[in-house]
Amino acid sequence: MSVPVPCTFEVNGRTYRPGARVYAAICVDGCGDEYLSESLIRGRMPNLAGAIRKGKRFMGRGVIPSFTNPNNSSIITGAPPAVHGINGNYFLDPESGGAVMMNDGKFLKAPTIVATAARAGRRCAIVTAKEKLRTILAHDLDGIGFSAEKAGQAERGTHGIDGVEALVGEKTPPIYSPDASVYVLKAGAAMVEQGLADLLYLSLTDYMQHKFAPEEPESLDFHARLDEQIGRLLAAGVVLGITADHGMNAKHSADGRPRVVYLDPILLRLVGPGCRVILPITDPYVAHHGSLGSFAVVHVPPGTDLARVRRGLMGVPEVTEVMEKDIACEKLQLHPERLGDLVVMCGRDTTLGTSPAEHDLSQLDRPLRSHGGRYEEMVPMIVSEPLNAAYRAKAEGDPRNFDIFDFTINGTGS
């Protein structure tokens, strides 16, 4: 087994100095801090508990919109959407007037930490649960990059690896299952054990978190399975950094029906025709959430009195924040090229939709849990080794989830 080569590289304004250790950052998709707390107090995550006691657990601020693509893109670049350009899963192309899905590396406007590390001599690997995310995150990577969803199709020429099923010892898992996430960690652990990679990004899916509350048995069992693999990684000597892309909250009324504010009719009343609502949570994996999240982008016709629309939207009881585009770009560090005129956020227990006809809620087989807004912004961060003084101070500030590679690589060791 080869010893990892210490090196220094710079990407998006930060310098990383990995030593002769294996480093892995894990993004536990949708892991609100409560998921860890509930599993930990029931003794279901003993390996994580050990890592916390040895290292540090603290809260990080994620990217808003608190969705998967913007946050994973931020974690892999160490930078906000203003730098990497991925404001959501979708944006409205002003030229075509169509909604464009950002599921390709070409939309990424910044180099990734992992691709840069590979050029500096590290043996890098990215494993995602969903294929859509692999295509963004493994952009330009001279290393290993594959998804659990298409593990069996990984080939050396295109994915830097083949024989993944044999390596993991398991067939490609179904994407709508807890197995998809566990598979990502199993693949990561196997690659480390086999000496195939020494700087890894392992990004899970929030299928389980969308379905189950933190204390439900299915959730506890899922986290126990994650913990087993965390234990494997720790046993292999990996310096682990763990965070989440966003939290997760129940978004349904007591009778189990989704709580939704439909924006199209409200905008029709406030502005008239010609508005366009983009829900950047929308993705091809509809069973999770029915495209219902707590963040929306609104495009209005030219000449619209934005101040009046802002006040009108703030008058909707469930709406919590409305920002004009320039303010949203500043406060949320979003990219101006792929944003509408207003961003709208709603409360902890509510989602924003377009119109009832456009949301297929028949796919929801459990009461809706979702994310996207301010109440899913804060996520746990865990580093498995003690932080040095500079990073202990940094943790006592406003650490971001996309600082996780920085904390894991630069924050450990002296």
Binding site for a second copy (CB under 8 A): 33-34, 37-38, 40-42, 49, 52-53, 56-59, 61, 213, 215, 250, 252-254, 307, 311, 314-315, 317, 320-321, 327, 330-331, 347-349, 367, 374-375, 378, 390, 393-394, 396-398
Least distance to a second copy, CB of residue 194, Å: 32
Q: How far apart, in Å, are the Cα atoms of 411 and each of 21, 141, 379?
A: 13, 24, 19
Cβ at position 377, least distance to a second copy in Å: 9
266 contacts: CB under 8 Å, gap ≥ 6: 312, 313, 316
Judge contact between 63 and 71, C-beta under 8 A: yes
Q: Name the residue nearer to a second copy (CB basis): 31 or 133.
A: 31
What's the rounded Cα separation, in Å, for the pair 157 and 340?
A: 39
Angle between helix axes 263-270 and 306-314 (nearest 10 degrees) is 130
User: Considering the complex, what minimum distance in angstroms separates the CB of residue 281 from a second copy?
Assistant: 20
Q: Measured between alpha carbons, how far is 333 from 87 in angstroms, rounded to an integer?
A: 9
- Counting DSSP H helices and E strands in the chain, the numbers are 16, 19
- Cβ closest to a second copy, residue 61 vs residue 109: 61
User: Could you give the CA distance from residue 369 to residue 48 in angstroms, rounded to a whole number?
Assistant: 25
User: What is the nearest approach in angstroms of a second copy to the Cβ of residue 325?
Assistant: 12
Give the tokens for residue 359: 């949301």
H or E segment and range at residue 185: helix 178-193
**Cβ–Cβ < 8 Å for 24, 239:** yes
Instruction: Quickly tell me which residue has 């919590």 as its tokens.
Output: 320
Alpha carbon distance 368, 175 (integer Å): 19
Which of 108/234 has CB closer to a second copy? 234
Contact 326, 82 (CB under 8 A): no
How many CB atoms are closer than 10 A to CB 361? 16
Tally the residues of the chain: 414
CA dihedral 404, 285, 128, 10 (to 10 degrees): -50
Q: Which two tokens stand for residue 385?
A: 């080794």
Find the shortest distance in angstroms from Cβ 146 to a second copy: 34
Under 8 Å between Cβ of 66 and 247: yes
CB of 101 to a second copy, least distance (A): 30
Q: Which is nearer to a second copy, 113 or 313 (CB)?
A: 313
Instruction: Report the nearest approach of a second copy to the CB of residue 52 (Å).
Output: 6
Q: Considering beta carbons, is residue 48 or 92 the nearer one to a second copy? A: 48
Q: Which is nearer to a second copy, 156 or 331 (CB)?
A: 331
Q: How far is the CB of 202 from a second copy (least distance, A)?
A: 23
What's the min distance (Å) between Cβ of 69 and a second copy?
23
Which residue's CB is nearer to a second copy, number 282 or number 333? 333
- Show the CA angle centred on residue 135, arms to residues 405 and 131, nearest 5°: 100
Nearest distance in Å: CB 214, a second copy:
9
Give the separation between CA 27 and CA 49, rounded to whole angstroms: 17
Indicate the residue among 91 and 402 with the shorter CB distance to a second copy: 402
Pair of tokens at residue 154: 């990984």
- The residue among 174 and 256 lying less far from a second copy, judged by its C-beta, is 256
Q: Which is nearer to a second copy, 17 or 392 (CB)?
A: 392
Q: Which two tokens stand for residue 24?
A: 């892995």
